[in-house]
């Protein structure tokens, strides 16, 4: 009996903790929480009611209150399968199935004064001649629960058959001792099954939610990339005749970043995420040219000092425009990376660049890489104001600018990895 009491106390504490967890948990809606709370509270009540009847402390004067408690227990126990199914997400089915058990509650109330299903005598609790009525309803409730478990399993594509099997076995393991050995283990097994069902359902829901979030994030990322590519194409079509500057420079920055990673250069900053970001965001580098007039962009001659000052505005404006476009649809690190590329890709290693005159490693690494790719492609491409240079001449210019315009370490990587892929 002491073991029985200890088991009941543990089940009560377990169900109480589960109830508190559900109340505090933000992953369920109000309806979902209600079904879980009803399930756990019902197990608590039925387990306590059973112990009150079978604890061994009985007096004939307790017969009336124990009869009321047992009627309530016998009325609640079979519908617990319905509460389970509601907790497993089968809300509509549960509401309909609950009506099936209402007649049983009425039968329990009507039968109680006559002792048809159970009664209390001088020596305590006894089963009545029609106890089978309760057993039949209880049996159907177990069948209903197993069907619901299979239905939920099908909904989740049977990803966790093991848990479904364990729930069924746990229920059976608790009912057999009650039926054949008069050991009161039913609510112990029901409480354990309730916890297993909660874990099963919650884990699979969270897994589906995670999959949906990943898919949604991918859609957002794809939208960002399409927007970036589309905007970059609009800007490029104003500035160049070839329409390939964006696609070539993004390939160059990727080669430089990958090469740096292989050579152990700036590996404190360059990783898989860095490479993905610079490849994705490189097309935004000249977005600021949207504020520059066509007269300056397409001038077939060298710009005057005043015109060049107007052209230089595109760097600072680019950083602002990127912030306006991407703000609210991406995280701060992504936004900063894109802004750095657009704003600082005309800074020079020796500090004579624009818009802020940053020097050496004060220039963001992504912008230093972008500067190399941008200048190299501009040298080997036809522009309205010049003819393309041969690749060997362009490479000589790049080498000469090491330590003045460009980061010397990146020049080494560039010459090793981009020069061999210059046919992009």
Neighbours of 4 (CB within 10 A): 17
Of 11-15, 217-221, 280-284, give the lowest mean pLDDT range: 217-221
pLDDT-derived band at 168, boundaries 50, 70, 90: low
Compute the distance between CA of residue 284 and CA of residue 330 in angstroms, rounded to an integer. Answer: 15
> 47 burial class (0-12, 13-18, 19+ CB within 10 angstroms)?
buried
Both structure tokens of 241: 């005749």
pLDDT averaged over every residue in the chain: 82
Q: How many distinct helices (H) and strands (E) make up the chain?
A: 16, 2
Q: Which of 86-95, 144-153, 241-250, 298-307 has maximum average pLDDT?
A: 298-307
Both structure tokens of 52: 């009150």
Compute the distance between CA of residue 96 and CA of residue 383 in angstroms, rounded to an integer. Answer: 75
Give the residue with greater pLDDT, 277 vs 183.
277
pTM over 0.85: no
**Domain segments of the chain: what residues?**
2-211, 240-421
Cross-strand partners of 125 = 120
H runs (alpha helix) in 112-185: 131-155, 161-181
Q: What is the pLDDT of residue 61?
A: 85
Q: What is the pLDDT of residue 138?
A: 79
Task: Check: CB of residue 117 under 8 Å from CB of residue 111.
Answer: yes
Nearest to 91 by CA among 165, 38, 16, 166: 38
Task: Check: CB of residue 50 under 8 Å from CB of residue 73.
Answer: yes
Q: What is the pLDDT of residues 33-65, one digit of tens each?
A: 888 888 889 888 988 888 888 787 878 888 899
Q: What is the pLDDT of residues 333-373, one digit of tens each?
A: 888 999 999 999 999 999 999 999 999 999 999 999 999 99
Kindly give, in sequence order, each residue whose CB lies less than 8 Å from that of residue 397, ignoring residues fewer than 6 positions away.
379, 389
Neighbours of 292 (CB within 10 A): 20
Q: What is the pLDDT of residue 99?
A: 81
Q: What is the pLDDT of residue 182?
A: 55
Q: What is the pLDDT of residue 177?
A: 54
Of 13-17, 28-32, 87-91, 245-249, give the lowest mean pLDDT range: 87-91
Cross-strand partners of 402 = 406
Nearest to 20 by CA among 38, 37, 44: 37
**CATH 2.40.50.140 corresponds to the domain 240-421:** no
CATH number given to 2-211:
1.20.1070.10
Of 94-103, 127-136, 232-241, 337-346, give the lowest mean pLDDT range: 232-241
Backbone angles phi and psi of 68, in degrees to 5: -65, -45
Q: Which of 76-90, 181-195, 236-250 has maximum average pLDDT?
A: 76-90
Q: What is the pLDDT of residue 174?
A: 60
Residues in the chain: 424
Task: Check: CB of residue 213 under 8 Å from CB of residue 27.
Answer: no
Q: What is the pLDDT of residue 175?
A: 63
Q: What is the pLDDT of residue 205?
A: 67
Give the residue with greater pLDDT, 279 vs 423.
279
> What is the three-class DSSP state of 202?
helix
Rounded to 10 deg, the angle between the 186-239 and 30-54 helix axes is 170
pLDDT-derived band at 110, boundaries 50, 70, 90: very high
> Taking 80 as the threshold, does the pLDDT of residue 107 lie above it?
yes
pLDDT-derived band at 251, boundaries 50, 70, 90: very high
Q: Which residue reads 């160049």 in tokens?
A: 240
> Taking 80 as the threshold, does the pLDDT of residue 132 lie above it?
yes
């Amino acid at each position: 009996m002491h073991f029985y009491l200890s088991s009941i106390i543990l089940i009560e504490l377990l169900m109480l903790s589960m109830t508190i967890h559900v109340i505090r948990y933000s992953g369920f809606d109000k309806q979902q929480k209600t079904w879980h709370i009803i399930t756990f509270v019902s197990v608590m009540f039925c387990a306590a009611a059973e112990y009150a009847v079978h604890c061994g402390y009985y007096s004939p004067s307790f017969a009336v209150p124990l009869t009321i408690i047992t009627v309530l227990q016998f009325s609640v126990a079979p519908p617990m399968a319905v509460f389970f199914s509601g907790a497993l997400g089968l809300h509509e089915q549960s509401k309909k199935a609950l009506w099936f058990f209402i007649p049983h509650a009425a039968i329990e109330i009507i039968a109680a004064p006559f002792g048809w299903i159970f009664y209390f005598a001088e020596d305590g609790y006894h089963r009545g001649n029609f106890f089978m009525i309760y057993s039949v309803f209880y049996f159907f409730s177990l069948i209903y629960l197993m069907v619901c478990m299979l239905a939920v399993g099908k909904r989740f594509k049977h990803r966790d058959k093991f848990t479904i099997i364990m729930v069924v076995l746990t229920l059976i393991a608790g009912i057999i001792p009650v039926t054949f050995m008069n050991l009161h283990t039913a609510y112990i097994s029901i409480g354990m099954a309730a916890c297993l069902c909660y874990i099963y359902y919650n884990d699979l829901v969270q897994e589906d939610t995670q999959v949906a979030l990943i898919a949604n994030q991918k859609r957002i990322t794809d939208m960002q990339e399409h927007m970036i590519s589309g905007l970059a194409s609009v800007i490029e079509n104003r500035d160049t005749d070839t329409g390939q500057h964006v696609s070539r420079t993004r390939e160059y920055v990727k080669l430089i970043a990958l090469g740096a990673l292989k050579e152990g250069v700036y590996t404190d900053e360059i990783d898989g995420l860095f490479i993905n970001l610079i490849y994705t965001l490189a097309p935004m580098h000249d977005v600021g040219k949207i504020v520059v007039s066509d007269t300056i962009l397409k001038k077939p001659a060298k710009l005057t000092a005043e015109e060049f000052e107007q052209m230089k505005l595109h760097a600072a404006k680019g950083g602002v425009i990127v912030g306006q476009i991407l703000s609210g649809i991406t995280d701060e690190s992504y936004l900063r990376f894109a802004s750095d590329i657009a704003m600082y890709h005309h800074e020079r290693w020796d500090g004579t660049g624009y818009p802020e005159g940053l020097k050496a490693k004060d220039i963001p690494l992504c912008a230093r890489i972008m500067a190399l790719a941008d200048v190299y492609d501009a040298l080997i491409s036809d522009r309205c104001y010049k003819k393309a240079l041969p690749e060997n001449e362009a490479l000589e210019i790049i080498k000469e600018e090491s330590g003045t315009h460009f980061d010397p370490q990146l020049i080494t990587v560039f010459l090793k990895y981009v020069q061999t892929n210059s046919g992009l």
